[in-house]
Structure 1
Amino acid sequence: MASKRPQSPPISLVELRKRCRDASLSEQELTDYFLPDEENSKPFAPALKLNEALVDVGRARPGPDAISKLYADATRAQTPLPKKPRVLTQTFRRAAKTKLLAEGDSWFNLPDYIYPKTAIDFLGSDNDFDVSNIALWGDELEAMVRAKQYRQPLRSGLFGHFLFSGGGNDVLGSIPAYVKPRKSGDTDPAHAADYVKATFPQKISQMMGFYRSLANDARDATAGRVVLYVHGYANAIPKKGGHYLGGPFETLGFDPVAHAPLCRAIVAQMVKLFNDALQSFAQSTAHVVYNDLRPAMTERDWYRDEIHPNESGARKIARIFAESVRANTPGV
């Protein structure tokens, strides 16, 4: 029988904050001192809580946002920009890594060690790429485009490729807002489109306005030299009692097991509308590349929380982006 690993020593909140700022916590300490907080998690914004059996919080009660910030500091979620490349001789120029900037939501960045690795984690381990990731779980499309944190890195001139992930909360996390209650006796997946409210395509149109602003920002910051890569997520699978998909469907009168084909078809319809809009946007906008992730994601490639890829799914997505970047890199 395997021996149980020793637990990390108790720590005060003051010391924990210092260790987080110094990024000096080990993987074991991170997973001992921080725990998933399902009660306060939202779509594409997984929350964390402190393990108060080990962390002495005293009278303080940090909220989920403050705890996520601590964890991001501890794991250096926002990686520093690479240094300006030195001038290379012709002999070594081809060996230089392709520099990528990534911005987005939890499909591009999740709390390390607690959640699965993302596609950007795997892309960063590819010997051909040097990835600077400024994505952070919980970031939403509108807020990212209004904050424009990507603009300064793009202006540095270091990046020819810009990967962006945004809008997942508006699609995979929006069942309560945009799906109608089930009609009594209806289990036919052919009726999926009838259950998507007319306000959802309106929401998609609003989202595409932010994507157009994003493309304009990228073009203006780089004088049109950067390629923007976008994606429309994939056909997630509702589970019985699932926090983000299955539970909301049950509230609307659907059973994710008994009515599985209909529930899945409704999710697929919503994802399709977003993908169609992104594809049209990319086809009509210079230097924008659309990536369809749906064919790659199988039922086995989803994490248990319903809306994120597991590591096998993330690896597949990383390969799609890698192939897309190589196809749009001169001389590769």
Structure 2
Amino acid sequence: MISKKTQSPPIKLAELRRRCREASLSEQELTDYFLADEEHSKPFAPALKFNEALVDVGRARPSPEAISRLYAEATRAQAPLPKKPRQLTQTLRKAARTRLLAEGDSWFNLPDYIYPRTAIDFLGSDYDFNVSNIALWGDELEAMVRAKQYRQPLRSGLFGHFLFSGGGNDVLGSIPTYVKPRKAGDTDPAHAADYIKATFSQKISQMMGFYRTLANDARDATGGRVVLYVHGYANAIPKKGGHYLGDPLDALGFDPVDHAPLCRAIVARMVELFNIALQSFAQGTAHVVYNDMRPVMTERDWHRDEIHPNESGAKKIAKVFSEAVRANTPIA
């Protein structure tokens, strides 16, 4: 007989906040007290909400952003200091591994236990890397480059490899801004490029300006000793009723089912333009390595929300980064 999982006990919001600060919630408590909030989610910024059947919020009405920050705090527990000789040996062994710094959006960090693990999770668990991840879902390219939270860890001298993920919201989340309405009767995927506004190229150019600033920051913080790894996302698949791709395309007259080839071609073209620009930037900038994720991501490698890799996709992306880092690591 299979035992039924016991539900976590009800909790008051003040107590939940305290437990989050202490990072003392179990996996079951995290999944019981927090739920995905699809209504308030944005591309690359999944929102969370409280399970009010268990969380007594009283008169408080925290914003989805505040709830996400609380969840991030709860799942960023610091590893305890080693107390036994064996633990000390394991810690020293980990410190001796190749160190990676990761900064970025939800392709590098999603709410644990609610969403699939990311490539950064697998780089730390399946490959011999010591990963410090400062990425957070919802962070956008411009904001990350202006905040420069990566600069201090880079200045520590501990990292020779810096993985960055940014711009997904500007590309996969920008269909309402940069795609023209469908022409009556047109279902030809060969016309995909005609539906992308000229202003999208201007947006791409602006994004490359932020990437150049990022590369300069990394160079200045490390004296040119760090390698920056960038990627251009992949050809996501619009779905009927999809919150991020399918619905915006449907609103413009592109039915994700009836006009599936054209819908996919439009998304693929927008992703292609970003990848072309990012590859050109990397080729013209010292110590920058471009990674193309499109060849490794298949239709089966996407999470149900359209724009994030599932765990099979994340493993493939981790392998690409692992191989790139190995290729740029001096042999001792």
TM-score bracket, normalised by the shorter chain, equals over 0.9
Is the contact between residue 118 and residue 311 of structure 2 (CA under 8 Å) also seen in structure 1? yes
Alpha-carbon distance change, 51 to 93 in structure 1, aligned in 2, over 3 angstroms = closer
Q: Who is 2:285 aligned against?
A: 285
- Residue 64, structure 1, aligned to residue 57, structure 2: no
* Aligned positions of 1:292-303 closer than 5 A: 292-303=292-303
Q: TM-score, normalised by structure 1?
A: 0.94
Deviation of the 1:134 alpha carbon: 0.1
Q: What is the rounded CA distance, in whole Å, between the counterparts of 1:196 and 1:129 in structure 2?
A: 40
For residue 232 of structure 2, what is the aligned residue in structure 1? Answer: 232
Tell me the TM-score normalized by structure 2: 0.94
Listed as ranges, the matches of 1:170-181 within 5 Å are: 170-181=170-181
How far did 1:96 drift? 2.6
Question: Which residue number in structure 2 is paired with residue 89 of structure 1?
Answer: none
- AA at the equivalent of 2:98: T
| Cα deviations by residue, 1:39-89 (Å, 9 ceiling, x for unpaired) | 100000000000000000011111111101110010008x78x9xxxxxxx
Correspondences of 1:22-171 after superposition (within 5 Å): 22-76=22-76, 96-171=96-171
Question: 1:5 deviation in Å?
Answer: 1.2
1:294 is paired with a residue whose SS is coil
CA distance in structure 1 between the aligned counterparts of 2:66 and 2:142, rounded to whole angstroms: 21
What's the % identity of the aligned pairs? 85
TM-fit CA distance, 1:95: 9.5
Distance 2:210 2:73 in 1: 28
Aligned to 1:86: none
Q: 1:56 to 1:276 in 2, by over 3 A?
A: same
Partner Cα separation in structure 1 for residue 160 and residue 114 of structure 2: 32
Are residue 13 (structure 1) and residue 13 (structure 2) matched?
yes
Q: CA deviation at 1:127?
A: 4.4
Structure 2 distance, partners of 1:131, 1:52, is 35
Aligned counterparts of 2:255 and 2:3: Cα–Cα separation in 1: 42
Conserved in 1, the CA contact under 8 Å of 2:239 and 2:257?
A: yes
How far did 1:93 drift?
9.9
Q: How many residue pairs get matched?
A: 321
Q: Contact 2:296/2:317 (CA < 8 Å) preserved in 1?
A: yes
Partner of 2:275: 275
Q: Is the 8 A contact 1:101 1:162 kept in 2?
A: yes
8 Å CA contact 2:109–2:136 kept in 1: the answer is yes
Distance of 1:193 and 1:323 partners within structure 2: 33
Distance in 1, matches of 2:22 and 2:95, equals 33
**Separation in structure 2 between the aligned mates of residue 303 and residue 93 of structure 1, nearest angstrom:** 34
**What is the CA deviation profile of residues 242-293 of structure 1, one whole-angstrom value per residue up to 9, with x for unaligned ones?**
0000000110001101100000000000000000000000000000000000
Deviation at 1:126, TM superposition (A): 3.2
* 1:97–1:127 Cα contact (<8 Å) kept: no
For residues 6 and 94 of structure 1, do their structure 2 counterparts lie closer, same or farther at Cα, with a shift above 3 Å needed? closer
Amino acid at match of 1:110: L
Q: Match of 2:85?
A: none
Which secondary structure does the structure 2 equivalent of 1:52 belong to? coil
**One-letter amino acid matched to 1:227:** V
Say which is worse superposed, 176-185 or 2-11, in terms of deviation.
2-11
Instruction: Map Cα deviations across residues 170-220 of structure 1 (whole Å, 9 max, x no partner).
Output: 001111111000000000000000000000010000000000000000000
CA drift of 1:15 comes to 0.3
Q: Structure 1: where are the runs of 5+ without partners?
A: 83-91
Aligned partner letter, 1:330: P
- The 2-side partners of 1:256 and 1:94 are apart by 47
Write out per-residue CA displacement over residues 120-147 of structure 1, whole angstroms, 9 at most, x where no aligned residue: 0000113420000000000000000000
Q: Tell me the residue number matched to 2:89.
A: none
Could you tell me how far apart the structure 2 residues matched to 1:4 and 1:170 are?
44
Instruction: Give the alignment's Cα RMSD to 1 decimal.
Output: 1.7
Q: Distance in 1 between matches of 2:195 and 2:2?
A: 51
Q: Distance in 1 between matches of 2:230 and 2:73?
A: 27
Partner of 2:219: 219
How far, CA to CA, are the matches of 1:68 and 1:139 in structure 2? 12
Is the Cα contact below 8 Å between 1:11 and 1:56 reproduced in 2? yes
Measure the CA separation in 1 of the matches of 2:140 and 2:69: 16
SS of the residue corresponding to residue 312 of structure 1 reads helix
Cα distance in structure 1, aligned partners of 2:99 and 2:255: 46
2: distance between equivalents of 1:317 and 1:223? 28
CA distance in 2, matches of 1:153, 1:70: 23
Distance change >3 Å, CA 315–CA 295, structure 1 → 2: same
Structure 1 residue 6, shift from structure 2 partner = 1.3
SS at match of 1:181: coil
The equivalent of 1:260 in structure 2 is 260
Q: Give runs of ≥4 in structure 1 deviating > 2 Å.
A: 1-4, 92-96
Q: Give the Å deviation of 1:4.
A: 3.0
SS in 2 for 1:331: coil
Distance in 2 between residues matched to 1:310 and 1:304, nearest whole Å: 8
Matches of 1:93 and 1:217 in 2, distance apart? 30
Amino acid at match of 1:66: A
